[in-house]
């Protein structure tokens, strides 16, 4: 791998390491400040809501203005926001900061969009994305452990200290991006040349307007199957994870310590699956359009969810977590590869950002659906809400596979 790819992997690792340090502690910090459950719920909804619209917008802006420069800008903005998150004593300011982070925290998407700029070989790209997902997942897990210890050892000002450390991490990350090799810039088209504008408002307006124009120029129908599959998997996983800890505590009476072990086990399996995605793809060399992989992913996840729902004890439950973690990890990379294979490099950032927006949308809707099911029917029935969209995905992907075979 090239020097630039190693730098991008370091950026992805440090990014989620920093996020893992502080994000799991925000809800508890707000509760300590006197916030009720409504404020805690707003923390997630505000972030997901702003992520929904900012994904394709930031992605499109990176296509227009350069992915490297936009990544640097977002990292610096997030660094300032997380530092303010640690320093403030106002719940209102925390909610505003979460909105800002929802707008600008698109760093993982931008690092993925940069990979094809430095590695043109599609087969190597697949392995790079797998290793990047594994490395960043490890960073997030490590960040949670370190952040928990820092908070416990510094009871009075632990959150403030962590906020400052996270801000420093994002600043260092922006420095790493600076050392990425400079990409060849294409000369601007005549019709795109504008007069120099001195007003900051006009500059922002002009950039946002250009981004929207680029988004409307994309043939979205070309990607309908990818976004449909992403929506189904996103809704299923969001439903499942929204009641994950509560399910383990209610059904198997696990303590927080053992719930942490189960979560770590699933995280390790997912990271290993991402790391070896290149090896997994070697079994699908004939699957040029990814239709067979999509079908297998939906089948594996559906069977795993059914096994989880019918598990008689936590040991059997942990057994079925293995195929679930593998399926989810592979799906994230398969949908990303499908987009990269179909799209032109000028729209790469916008399409990857749109994928993130689909995830954000399901992240807003699915918790409300699972909450209603848990309230009226019981938490054990939430898994069936996850199973329904994956079964639908099995049928759609099977039909799509047969359609592709007939066309070929």
Whole-prediction pTM: 0.66
Residue 89 pLDDT: 85
**Residue 153: pLDDT above 60?**
yes
Distance of CA 255 to the CA centre of its chain: 28
Query: With pLDDT > 70 as the criterion, what percentage of the chain qualifies?
Result: 81
Asked, colleague to colleague, whether 1-181 and 216-408 share their fold, the answer is yes
pLDDT digits (tens, 9 = 90+) for 162-217: 999 999 999 999 999 988 887 655 544 444 444 444 444 565 555 556 555 555 66
pLDDT digits (tens, 9 = 90+) for 346-394: 666 667 767 767 776 777 777 777 777 877 888 788 889 899 999 999 9
Task: For residue 377, count other CB atoms closer than 10 A to its CB.
Answer: 12
**Residue 407: pLDDT above 50?**
no
Residue 126 pLDDT: 75
Greater pLDDT, 78 or 225: 78
**CA distance linking residue 105 with residue 47, whole number of Å:** 9
Residue 107 pLDDT: 87
Torsion angle of the four alpha carbons 371, 374, 377, 378, in this order, in degrees rounded to the nearest 10: 180
156 contacts: CB under 8 Å, gap ≥ 6: none
Q: Is the domain 216-408 a CATH 2.60.40.10 member?
A: no
CATH second-level architecture of 1-181?
Up-down Bundle (1.20)
Greater pLDDT, 300 or 242: 300
Contact 173, 52 (CB under 8 A): no
Residue 125 pLDDT: 80
Largest Cα span, the chain: 69
Burial per residue of 104-126, b for 16 or more beta-carbon CB atoms within 10 angstroms, e otherwise: bbbbbbbbbbbbbbbbeeeeebb
Residue 262 pLDDT: 79
Report the chain's mean pLDDT, rounded to a whole number. 79
Domain ranges of the chain: 1-181, 216-408
Residue indicated by tokens 């290993």: 272
């Amino acid at each position: 791998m090239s020097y630039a790819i190693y730098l991008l992997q370091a950026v992805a690792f440090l990014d989620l390491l920093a996020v893992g340090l502080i994000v799991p502690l925000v809800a508890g910090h707000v509760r300590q400040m006197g916030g009720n459950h409504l404020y805690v719920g707003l923390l997630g909804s505000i972030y997901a809501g702003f992520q929904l619209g900012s994904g394709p917008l930031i992605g499109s802006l990176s296509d227009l203005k350069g992915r490297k420069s936009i990544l640097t800008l977002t990292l610096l903005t997030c660094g300032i926001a997380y530092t303010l998150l640690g320093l403030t004593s106002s719940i209102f300011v925390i909610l505003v900061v979460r909105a800002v982070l929802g707008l600008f925290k698109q760093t993982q998407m931008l690092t993925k969009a940069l990979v094809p700029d430095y590695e043109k070989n599609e087969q190597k790209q697949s392995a790079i994305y797998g290793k990047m997902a594994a490395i960043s997942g490890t960073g997030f897990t490590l960040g949670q452990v370190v952040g928990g210890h820092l908070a416990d050892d510094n009871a009075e000002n632990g959150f403030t200290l962590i906020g400052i450390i996270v801000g420093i991490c994002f600043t260092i990350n922006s420095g790493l991006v600076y050392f990425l090799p400079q990409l060849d810039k294409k000369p601007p088209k005549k019709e795109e040349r504008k007069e120099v504008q001195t007003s900051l408002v006009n500059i922002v307006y002009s950039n946002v307007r250009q981004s929207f124009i680029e988004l409307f120029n994309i043939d979205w129908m070309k990607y309908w199957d990818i976004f449909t599959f992403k929506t189904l998997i996103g809704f299923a996983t969001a439903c499942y994870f929204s009641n994950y800890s509560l399910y383990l505590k209610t059904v198997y009476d696990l303590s927080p310590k053992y719930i942490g072990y189960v979560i770590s086990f699933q995280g390790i399996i997912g990271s290993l699956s991402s790391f070896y995605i290149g090896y997994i793809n070697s079994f699908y060399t004939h699957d040029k359009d990814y239709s067979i992989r999509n079908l297998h992913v939906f089948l594996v996840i559906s069977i795993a969810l059914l096994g989880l729902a019918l598990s008689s004890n936590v040991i059997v439950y942990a057994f079925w977590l293995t195929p679930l973690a593998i399926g989810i990890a592979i799906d994230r990379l398969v949908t990303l590869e499908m987009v990269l294979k179909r799209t032109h490099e000028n729209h790469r950032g916008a399409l990857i950002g749109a994928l993130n927006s689909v995830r954000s949308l399901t992240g807003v809707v699915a918790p409300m659906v699972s909450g209603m099911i848990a309230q009226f029917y019981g938490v054990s029935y939430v898994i069936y809400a996850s199973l329904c969209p994956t079964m639908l995905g099995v049928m759609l992907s099977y039909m799509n596979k047969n359609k592709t075979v007939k066309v070929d």
